[in-house]
Amino acid sequence: MGTGLSVAVPDTQQTALEKTSPTYNDSREECPLIDFSIDDDLNRPRRGPFKDPADKAQTAQTRKDNACVRCKMQRTRCIPNPFDPRGVCLTCKKVANTRVVNLPCLRYKIPDARLFREGYMPGLVWSRRWESMEMNDVSTWADSEIRRIEVTQDYSPNPIVLRVRKFIPIDGDMLSRTWKYAGEDKEAVLPPYAIESLKEAERAYRDYIFKEGMQFFLSTLKRKDALVFDTYTMAIKASKCHMSEQERVLLNMVIRLWVATRMICRSERIAGSDRLGMRPDLMDHTSSMHGLTPIPPVMGAQIEVILIQGIMKPLRAMILEHLQKLILAHKPQNWFCIYLCIFILLHNASLITETDIAYAKKHGRKGFAMPEVIAELHMGANVLLAYFHYACRGQRLFTIDWDAKDAVSMAVLDED
Segment 96-131, tens digit of pLDDT: 765 554 567 877 889 989 999 988 776 667 888 998
Domain identity same for 116 and 95: no
pLDDT in tens, the chain (416 residues): 333 333 333 344 444 454 444 444 444 444 433 444 444 444 555 656 656 666 666 666 667 767 888 787 777 888 888 888 778 888 888 877 655 545 678 778 899 899 999 887 766 678 889 988 899 999 999 999 999 999 999 999 999 999 999 999 999 999 999 888 888 889 999 999 999 999 999 999 999 999 999 999 999 998 788 999 999 999 998 888 778 899 999 999 999 999 999 999 999 999 989 999 999 999 999 998 999 999 999 999 999 999 999 999 999 999 999 999 999 888 888 888 999 999 999 999 999 999 999 988 887 788 998 999 999 999 999 999 988 887 776 555 555 554 555 555 555 555 55
Burial track 42-78 (b if 16+ CB lie within 10 A, e otherwise):
eeeeeeeeeeeeeeeebeeebeeebbbbbbbbeeeeb
Residues in the chain: 416
The rounded distance, in Å, linking the Cα atoms of 178 and 189 is 9
Domain identity same for 259 and 327: yes
When divided into structural domains, the chain yields a total of 2
Residue 193 belongs to a domain? yes
CB 305 within 8 A of CB 133: yes
Domain identity same for 290 and 148: yes
The rounded distance, in Å, linking the Cα atoms of 156 and 3 is 9
Where do the H-state alpha helices sit in 182-263? 198-220, 226-238, 245-263
Domain identity same for 268 and 313: yes
The per-residue pLDDT for 390 is 79
* pLDDT tens-digit map of 202-222: 999 999 999 999 999 999 998
The per-residue pLDDT for 33 is 35
Phi–psi pair at 162, nearest 5 degrees: -125, 145
Domain final residue, candidates 72, 92, 107: 107
| Beta strand pairing call for 184-189 and 176-181 | antiparallel
Residue 1 belongs to a domain? no
Domain final residue, candidates 78, 107, 136: 107
Domain identity same for 141 and 99: no
Residue 320 belongs to a domain? yes
Residue 48 belongs to a domain? no
Q: Would you give the distance in Å from CA 81 to the centre of its chain?
A: 36
The rounded distance, in Å, linking the Cα atoms of 340 and 99 is 28
The amino acid sitting at 1 is M
Domain final residue, candidates 89, 107, 125: 107
Residue 49 belongs to a domain? no
> How far apart, in Å, are the Cα atoms of 10 and each of 29, 48, 155, 226, 347?
37, 61, 17, 11, 21
Domain identity same for 74 and 119: no
Domain identity same for 98 and 243: no
CB 416 within 8 A of CB 242: yes
Burial class, 13, CB count within 10 angstroms (exposed 0-12 / middle 13-18 / buried 19+)? middle
- In 3D space, the residue among 248, 258, 242, 332 whose CA is nearest the CA of residue 36 turns out to be 248
Domain identity same for 86 and 116: no
Domain that holds residue 64: 54-107
Residue 415 belongs to a domain? no
Residue 402 belongs to a domain? yes
The per-residue pLDDT for 4 is 32
**Measured between alpha carbons, how far apart are the two ends of the chain, in Å?**
37
The per-residue pLDDT for 240 is 84
Where do the H-state alpha helices sit in 242-370? 245-263, 297-305, 313-328, 335-362
Residue 321 belongs to a domain? yes
Q: Max Cα separation, the chain? A: 78
Domain identity same for 246 and 98: no
Domain identity same for 74 and 211: no
Contact residues for 22 (Cβ-Cβ < 8 A; gap 6+): 213, 214, 236, 239, 240, 252, 255
Q: Which residues pair with 146 in a beta bridge?
A: 165
Domain identity same for 254 and 372: yes
Domain identity same for 202 and 325: yes
Burial class, 277, CB count within 10 angstroms (exposed 0-12 / middle 13-18 / buried 19+)? exposed
